[in-house]
Structure 1
Amino acid sequence: MTPMLFGPPSRQLFGLFHAPEREGNVAMLICMPIGQEAIRAHRLFRVLSDRLARIGVAVLRFDYYGTGDSPGDDADGELEGWRRDVCTAHEELRRRVGARRILWLGARLGATAAVLAAKSGHCDPARLILWDPIIDGARYLDSLRESHVDALERSYCVPDPAWRRRLTKDGDAYTDEVLGFAVSPVLRQQLRSLSPKALQLTALHHTTVLADPEDRAAQQWASAAAESRMPVTISSFQHPLIWTSDPQPNNAMVPTEALQRLTAEAHD
């Protein structure tokens, strides 16, 4: 595993390159989730990257600008910039792996950024793998607000009832900072405007959507794309990973189901 900084001087990104340990023709760019979701999934993607490298898949994990170990602050983060970051990371991986086919694996808001990047025409993956993509931005923001209040209530012996009243009555409550991460006004507006119509898939490559059966927004979005004859495969995928909180008792930090399924996707 090789740590590095790459990209233009004005917007450098931190990445980790996992060199393949055997011959192969596939590389994978991992587009991570954001905020607490990235923290909860970090170990899973580290283990996945090591496993893929052992079977001959080159992997690049990276932090978007303003996230993780990349330069910038939380308040610098927004979807349009992250879209460009995906293309910057793709070009860096292309430089390192030559003619290998580059797959993109995007999770949560990282999947959303991957769709936007693929649609932009500035970078071209061989295939998109979207895991629990965020399709309805307003609903996603509301779920983060709810998780934020849940975390507050768990952290105090005597929770303040005013927290939940504020959550219910004020739609802007808990949107400046969510689960310990600042949310810029630009990102907040982008999320509120994010809808299935804004996330059009391209016919230039195949897309696999791995979505929870109860995620009706993602299921309907993928089904609509398939009905319009886009090359889309929809796969219902339940797993015990909780994106915004620690694992439940007796659940692993790296769920075997998720690890096996994502590893298999690199071979399809």
Structure 2
Amino acid sequence: MISFYFGSTDRRLFGAYHPAQGGGGNRAVLLCYPWGFEYANAHRSMVRLANLLSQAGYHALRFDYYGTGDSAGEDRDADLSGAREDIARAIGELRELSGVETVSIIGLRLGAALAVMTTRDMPSMVDRLVLWDPVIDGVRYMEELYDLDDSLNIPGVGSAGVFSVEDGGGREVMGLPLTARVASEISGVKLTTTLSGLPNETLVIVTCASSGQKGLKAYVDGTNGQSTFERIEDHAAWHEDWPDNAGVIPVSVLNRILSWMR
């Protein structure tokens, strides 16, 4: 693995490049993380997936959106429009690193929705798409985030903070700021209305039931047969019922993604 920074001087992004082992890899895969606390929960699984892809002969790139992880910027600087630009930059970086013309994208949760939006903007650059437990309905997703945060009862920890307009508005969710701008952007996510024009080969893989899956499955089932909707009973990489399943990797999901990519 090679850690490095890319992007522009005022928007430095952290990347982790996993070259194809054995050399000569002619396929490249970009991994798009979920948002906020789901990023932290899923990190171990995403690293493992990148390593497996590398071992299987794929060039793989993980990266952090601006304002998240090890990239430059503060938490309040992150937004979805910027994240889409970051994905486009990461596609270009991966093409340059690997020498391939087109890349595949694996997006988890909100990262899957962002991957769909970006792919529609630059369809000639993406050949395959994996939507892993995608956020389908942004409004419902926001409700779930607020409900989860409000249900926490940690001794000594007060209720979620609310931010002033000068600080971007919005509120704290699971210890991270969710600004009014980002909340508005997420609420506008409607995956089933943005799927037309995606690569013929798209895998939608889900580990638990969520709002909008029926419509998503109907769309995928109505494609030309190269796209697939699958339900796999496994741990949700982006969610932890700490401490019972902290750090558990959904091996069945990773293996299925690998076999489908081949």
Instruction: Identify the TM-score tier after normalising by the shorter chain.
Output: 0.7 to 0.9
| Aligned match of 1:238 | 233
1:263 and 2:262 equivalent?
no
Q: Secondary structure at the match of 1:239?
A: coil
Alpha-carbon distance, 1:71 to partner: 0.7
Alpha-carbon distance, 1:130 to partner: 0.4
Alpha-carbon distance, 1:266 to partner: 2.6
Provide, for residues 123-165 of structure 1, a one-character-per-residue CA deviation record: whole Å limited to 9, x for no partner: 62111100011111111111111221233x1x228x98xx69x
Question: Is contact 1:212-1:237 (8 Å) kept?
Answer: yes
| Aligned match of 1:74 | 75
Give 2:173's aligned amino acid. Answer: V
Alpha-carbon distance, 1:17 to partner: 0.3
Query: Structure 1 length normalisation: TM-score?
Result: 0.84
Give 2:155's aligned amino acid. Answer: Y
Give the 4+ runs in structure 1 shifted more than 4 A. Answer: 228-231
**Unpaired segments of 5 or more residues in structure 1?**
165-173
Whole-Å Cα distance in 2 between the matches of residues 47 and 201 of structure 1?
Answer: 31
Provide, for residues 150-193 of structure 1, a one-character-per-residue CA deviation record: whole Å limited to 9, x for no partner: 33x1x228x98xx69xxxxxxxxx95111111112111111222
Query: Structure 2 length normalisation: TM-score?
Result: 0.86
1:195 and 2:181 equivalent?
no
Whole-Å Cα distance in 1 between the matches of residues 208 and 4 of structure 2?
Answer: 38
Whole-Å Cα distance in 2 between the matches of residues 149 and 47 of structure 1?
Answer: 31
| Aligned match of 1:156 | 155
Question: Is contact 1:213-1:219 (8 Å) kept?
Answer: no
The 5 Å alignment of 1:113-128 reads: 113-121=114-122, 124-128=125-129
Alpha-carbon distance, 1:254 to partner: 1.5
The partner residue of 1:220 within 184, 190, 215 is: 215
| Aligned match of 1:144 | 145
Whole-Å Cα distance in 1 between the matches of residues 12 and 148 of structure 2?
Answer: 31
Give 2:50's aligned amino acid. Answer: S
| Aligned match of 1:167 | none
Tell me the matched-pair count: 253
